[in-house]
Amino acid sequence: MTRLSVNINKIATIRNARGGNMPDVFKAALDCERFGAQGITVHPRPDERHIRYSDVRQIRPAVGVEFNIEGNPIPSFCSLVEEVRPDQVTLVPDAPDAITSNAGWNTLKNKEFLSGMCARFKALGIRVSLFVDPDPAMVEGAAACGADRVELYTAAYAENYPLSPEAAIATYLAAAKAARAAGLGLNAGHDLNLQNLAFFVRTIPWTDEVSIGHALICDALYMGLEQTIGAYLAELKK
């Protein structure tokens, strides 16, 4: 079954908006695990507007499920990854002022840089995933860089799903087939939700992991965190 990794950035956003430690991000990470999440994802940014580097250091040794750190491999991020040794690092080419991730890597133009990053983290036993658009050429480029997995940027899928699920997923299916042919693991993330998740994993059942944060936390405002995680796990089982 496709695994659910809960991105807890938005919980940190709420905390940071008021100051203090409410909600408690560390407790939330442990609760997500207790409620059935099979992974915890964090995406620290240079301005620490949500997850802070100190959060990462506190959470990493406490969780028993897979720990995934996402981010642009700037020097401070790389040093953090080397310090805490996550199970997986997902490299994302987001600009410092980006509100959220909005594009995948061009793995062909950035081959030399990404190859070095993959080798650097894999030498420490960390699985490396590259965030890419649903383009078979970018997927094949990720394999040439030495990545272990790709994470497909699913914003376009989510946007077009209400119009035609089959059309929305066509490019993703092609990219996913390219990943499988190249021997890469497959992750997916961005704007996946309770409406579009089941169709995605039913169409691409070899998806290893989905990382979901914004939609899941929004649902939790109404349903509660435990019930929401259960609902997402149920969608993955359909």
Catalytic annotation, residues:
43, 70, 190
Instruction: Tell me the Ramachandran region of residue 137: left when phi exceeds 0, alpha when psi lies from -120 to 50, beta otherwise.
Output: alpha
SS3 89: strand
Distance CA 126, CA 135 (A): 25
- How many alpha carbons fall within 13 Å on the CB side of residue 73? 21
Q: How far is CA 28 from CA 8, 33, 58, 232, in A?
A: 8, 9, 12, 17
- 56, with CB counted inside 10 A (0-12, 13-18, 19+), is buried
